[in-house]
Amino acid sequence: DGGITQSPKYLFRKEGQNVTLSCEQNLNHDAMYWYRQDPGQGLRLIYYSQIVNDFQKGDIAEGYSVSREKKESFPLTVTSAQKNPTAFYLCASSTDRSGATAFFGQGTRLTVV
Amino acid sequence: AQSVTQLGSHVSVSEGALVLLRCNYSSSVPPYLFWYVQYPNQGLQLLLKYTSAATLVKGINGFEAEFKKSETSFHLTKPSAHMSDAAEYFCAVSGDNAGNMLTFGGGTRLMVKP
């Protein structure tokens, strides 16, 4: 079945450590996105990529980094510079057609301990 | 720039009652509008979307939404709530930005009372 896989589902990190969240899709979508979800704030865009080897900052990119070396993969690194990293992280993908539906992974809940 | 406002962060209805979740948007171009549903600790699932083909859009699980340009609204309705409808609902807009990104509202948590 086609879809988006995020791993792990739950992740714990000590303060000062970098951590990488995985996102893989087999939908042959060109565009991929990372959103952060906090209670009462909806989803906020961290980074997006429309094509391999290219990505753009979203609204809240500070303290995060991404790579897009393969069409299927768009990992997100939460660095120690991110001051409040505890959140639910959602990865999505879509075609590059205007108005295309975005398909979401099941999310990763990151907790800093 | 595009934006979305969902009125009411929490809505409570009785089982069998009408569900109405409100969404207003802002966009400088004809928008694409979406409603997604999220169950606890899950990703988002598309309920329905508006792409200018018809102003009344029918989605999954008996939900529908009507695009009203004059009111810049895209409210979500369901005639009769089921317990299984309890979830968080997000309205989103795209079209008025580069990269085809979705801009989300703050979400509305729907509670269904027996």
* Residue range A37-72, pLDDT digits in tens: 998 778 999 999 999 999 999 999 999 999 999 999
pLDDT of residue B30: 82
pLDDT of residue B110: 97
> How close does chain A come to B13, measured CA to CA in Å?
20
Q: How many CB pairs under 8 A join A and B?
A: 69
Could you tell me which chain A residue has the CA closest to the CA of B109?
A: A40
CA dihedral angle for residue B21, residue B26, residue B32, residue B36, rounded to 10 degrees: -30
Residues found in chain A: 113
Contact A77, A65 (CB under 8 A): yes
Q: State pLDDT tens for residues B68-86.
A: 999 999 999 999 999 999 9
Q: Is B95 left (phi over 0), alpha (psi -120 to 50) or beta?
A: left
Q: Do B100 and A98 touch (CB under 8 A)?
A: yes
pLDDT of residue B1: 80
Please name the member of B51, B90, B106 whose beta carbon is closest to the beta carbon of A40: B106
**Chain A environment of B93 (Cβ under 8 Å):** none
Q: Which of A22-31, B50-59, B93-102 has the highest mean pLDDT?
A: A22-31
- At residue A1 the predicted structure's pLDDT band, cuts being 50, 70 and 90, is low
pLDDT of residue A81: 87
- Helix or strand (DSSP H, E) at B13: strand B10-14
pLDDT of residue B114: 94
Q: Do B32 and A99 touch (CB under 8 A)?
A: yes
Label residue A83 exposed, middle or buried (CB < 10 Å: 0-12, 13-18, 19+). exposed
